[in-house]
Structure 1
Amino acid sequence: MQLRGKTVIITGGGAGIGRALVFAVVRAGARAVAIADIDVEGAAEVGAILKAQQPQCDVLARRVDVADPAAVKALVDEATARFGRVDVFISNAGIMVRKGLDATDTDWLRAWGVNVQAHVNAAQAVMPQMLERGEGYFVNTVSAAGLLSQIGSAPYAVTKHAAIGFAEWLSITYGDRGIRVSCICPQGVQTRMLLGEDGERKGFLQEGSVTPEFVARKTIEGMADERFLILPHPEVLEYYRRKGQDYDRWLRGMRRLQDQVAKEFGIGI
């Protein structure tokens, strides 16, 4: 898909990868973009910068809790009324819960709501109009953790696997009806999730980490090619192949990596 003249919704658009995606889709020619984020000030700031830089682009910035289906539907309805249609939905919002068996029911429900159910909410809200037109693009920001795993976070590892599973299902079910689906699966990205609020957190994924802008560029390239897996870190594909070729060997390797990470950084990213 070429983005010129298209209308786009991006969740988690107030910071990190989402913020970079907002500017990337407009540079690629999108005529309108809706920026959604739980942090309404962040979304509004991105919207204001975008309007100053690209006054020809129609911009909508809203506070949206992506785990709330009614809020996501209201966003889609408002964007549709204002822009005329929604061509692309980039379901980008995500959270990290750095816990294992100590994660509470609340932790699990929160991770599930943002990392999985948000994609379901988005698809339920936007897919009817896309199917009626016979075209549309649904993009999930997932993680390499969805293909591999996540050391130090059971909720993140599990929910990111589930997000990949849902995207696969969408592609299988609607791919022959004009719906394109992509999953963005980076490893370390230089955002608050990786570096912490103060930018000082240390972790093994910092080596080889990339900027949000790099991820956004690779996403635009992947969408142009309509690739299901968008891999800003191409080595992830080789890791995934090794996992499939010899699961037990891969698990042993991951245990060794976990031990190394525990010694050098403490468990976590």
Structure 2
Amino acid sequence: MTEQLEGKGVVVTGAGRGIGRALATRMAAEGARVVVNDLDADNARAVAAEIGGTAVPGDVSSADGVRTVVDTATEALGRIDVFFANAGIDGAGGPDSLQTPDDVWERVMDVNVMAHVRAARELVPRWLDDGQGGRFVVTASAAGLLTMIGSAPYSVTKHAAVGFAEWLSVTYGGRGVDVHAICPQGVQTKMLEDAGPLQALLSRDSALPPEAVAEAAVVAISEGRFLVLPHPEVAGYYAARATDTDRWLAGMRRLQQKVDEAGAV
């Protein structure tokens, strides 16, 4: 078991399936006391029953919703030591992502970015006040490091999610708040199944099972690494993007053309 997780009070949002379910299951296996949150109450209860956790259904994208989840989870656990801000949506707005309506942008921003901000607003002051610190883990995406072909709302909000996690680490990392950003590529989830022509691209370096993402998270936590890269090759892509941005963008445009051609078949 991992020292940083054993016996800890852990909350995982969006834990009814996919990566969230795998994280909740792995946290329980590590000896943590787990609160399972999901918008789908039935899924939350089912996962909680499987792992011996506590179900706290609710919508963490709103200020009132996340406050309720945090307060209820705190009552169940005594204290939240680790918060996995995992809930996320893709926000695909049709074939022309530029025309995605404002209300969809707002919803994706609320779930993929503001849910993290609102959770941190609730948790960080509590962690600082009692002097025990805490751990905040954001599920972002390789799209937040590299840019996503396809959905503009997804790509932009995942960049913002990584940016917020970085800011949180810079600002509070010296005061006992450990922060991590999970940035996988293709993962065997419903989101990947629904990706259409992008599925092959996202699976280029192999689509991992959600359990592999949870394993990478545990390793990164034990080693104190900010970036959680279930696909290690993403580190090389990230470095290449920073080193020669124009070359990187040219390569991405070529990939976009292949996706366009595949979608036209």
TM-score w.r.t. length of structure 2: 0.93
Q: Secondary structure at the match of 1:101?
A: helix
Listed as ranges, the gaps of 5+ residues in structure 2 are none
Q: Which residue of 2 aligns with 1:28?
A: 30
Q: Distance in 2 between matches of 1:143 and 1:193?
A: 12
Is contact 1:134-1:177 (8 Å) kept? Answer: no
RMSD after superposition: 1.9
Alignment of 1:1-269 (within 5 A): 2-30=4-32, 32-51=33-52, 59-99=53-93, 100-132=97-129, 133-196=131-194, 202-207=199-204, 208-265=206-263
Q: Distance in 2 between matches of 1:148 and 1:108?
A: 20
Q: Distance in 1 between matches of 2:84 and 2:10?
A: 7
Letter in 1 for 2:244: D
Task: Please list the CA deviations of residues 143-171 of structure 1 after superposition, one character each: whole Å capped at 9, or x if unmatched.
Answer: 00000111011001100000111101100
Q: Which residue of 2 aligns with 1:54?
A: none
Task: Please list the CA deviations of residues 201-239 of structure 1 after superposition, one character each: whole Å capped at 9, or x if unmatched.
Answer: 943213411000110111111111121000000111111
Q: Secondary structure at the match of 1:244?
A: helix
Q: Distance in 1 between matches of 2:117 and 2:209?
A: 27
Q: Secondary structure at the match of 1:37?
A: coil
- Identical columns (%): 49
Q: 1:128 Cα shift?
A: 1.5
Letter in 2 for 1:196: D
Letter in 1 for 2:176: G
Q: Distance in 2 between matches of 1:201 and 1:103?
A: 18
Q: Distance in 2 between matches of 1:125 and 1:265?
A: 43
Is contact 1:21-1:213 (8 Å) kept? Answer: yes
Q: Distance in 2 between matches of 1:70 and 1:98?
A: 26
Q: 1:134 Cα shift?
A: 3.7
Q: 1:242 Cα shift?
A: 0.6
Q: Distance in 2 between matches of 1:113 and 1:75?
A: 16
Please identify runs of 4+ aligned residues in structure 1 that moved more than 3 A. Answer: 199-203
Task: Please list the CA deviations of residues 60-87 of structure 1 after superposition, one character each: whole Å capped at 9, or x if unmatched.
Answer: 2122112111111111111212221100
Is contact 1:147-1:164 (8 Å) kept? Answer: yes
Letter in 2 for 1:212: P
Q: Distance in 2 between matches of 1:202 and 1:187?
A: 11
Q: Distance in 1 between matches of 2:198 and 2:243?
A: 34
Task: Please list the CA deviations of residues 162-181 of structure 1 after superposition, one character each: whole Å capped at 9, or x if unmatched.
Answer: 01111011000001001100
